[in-house]
Amino acid sequence: MTELALVKPGGKGQVQSLARAFGLLETVAEAGVGLGLSHIAARMGLAPSTTHRLLNSMRDLGYVENDPTTGLWSVGLQAFRVGNAYLHKRDFVSQARPFMKKLVAEVGETVNMAILDQDNVVFIAQVECAEVMRMAVPIGRRGPLHASAVGKAILATLTTGEARDIMGRIDFTALTVKTHRNMTALTADLAGVRRRGYALDEEEQSLGMRCIAAPIFDEHQDAIAAISISGPTVRLTDNDIESAGQAVMTAAADITRSIGGQQKK
């Protein structure tokens, strides 16, 4: 039985435990890469023993995860599932699916949708193509911001200051020989994204795979997500990039209009 269930319904202890649990979840989520127990306790102003007991309860429920190697705590899958209810309320994922299916039919490659979360992207929807060799990303998986087309598509819409703040938290892990290794290289890439209107992942996350992405905007002209097509470079060739990029931008613009959003000028 978890601590959250050890108090009487309606009691002050229950309210306090819930407040602490939500505070812990927000603290862990803001860190992005994970936090140690002592750091979490210090930020929350709680005793380490109390913090550990609450975190263990939240881990049992799936809201946080603990890396047994590093001891760091991070957000769990259940937190994503609960947060995903917001997407269903707004329903832009459902509204986007017809346009995603149309894009798959047009380019013949898998289409993904992702949102920005701290210094990562989280994939929230997918329509797979019929090809035997295709890129399939599990819904809810996190991806590297610096090595993904969807991440760069969103990052390129931010102000210089906002983008630099986020890039300053990236560790620039080299996933392939083509991965950007520092902020200077990524910043130069983002300039190209702004000129073209779409972002590219040129085998930066996986050799032999190419992705092309464009942002989706809300009514405030803020990028709330991005969609991408992903496929092997033997099918999605250099000669296909321009036409495929235009197709992705068109689909993103159609989704933006369908949810009442406005393209950023």
CATH code: domain of residue 10: 1.10.10.10
Q: Is the pLDDT of residue 88 over 70?
A: no
Q: Is the pLDDT of residue 104 over 50?
A: yes
- With beta carbons less than 8 A apart as the criterion, state whether 25 and 58 touch: yes
Any domain includes 264 = no
pLDDT for 105: 95
pLDDT (average), residues 43-67 = 91
Nearest Cα to 112, choosing from 242, 213, 259?
213
pLDDT for 183: 94
pLDDT tier, 234 (very low <50, low <70, confident <90, very high otherwise): very high
Do 46 and 153 sit in the same domain of this protein? Answer: no
Instruction: State what percent of residues in the chain have pLDDT above 70.
Output: 91
- With beta carbons less than 8 A apart as the criterion, state whether 79 and 118 touch: no
pLDDT (average), residues 93-117 = 94
Coil, strand or helix at 181: coil
Q: Is the pLDDT of residue 212 over 90?
A: yes
CATH code: domain of residue 227: 3.30.450.40
pLDDT (average), residues 121-149 = 85
Collect all residues with Cβ–Cβ distance below 8 Å to 29 and sequence separation of at least 6: 75, 79, 118
Any domain includes 263 = no
Residue range 14-31, pLDDT digits in tens: 677 888 888 888 888 877
Any domain includes 208 = yes
Please give the Cα distance from 224 to 32 (Å, whole number): 18
Domain that holds residue 245: 91-258
Total structural domains in the chain? 2
Do 66 and 117 sit in the same domain of this protein? Answer: no
More confident residue, 11 or 207: 207
The dihedrals phi and psi of 62, each to the nearest 5 degrees, come to: 90, 10
Any domain includes 225 = yes
Tokens of 145: 């911001």
Mean per-residue pLDDT over the chain, rounded: 88
Q: Is the pLDDT of residue 33 over 80?
A: no
Nearest Cα to 205, choosing from 167, 148, 122, 155?
148
Please give the Cα distance from 100 to 250 (Å, whole number): 11
CB neighbours of residue 101 within 10 Å: 13
pLDDT for 228: 97
Q: Whole-prediction pTM value?
A: 0.66
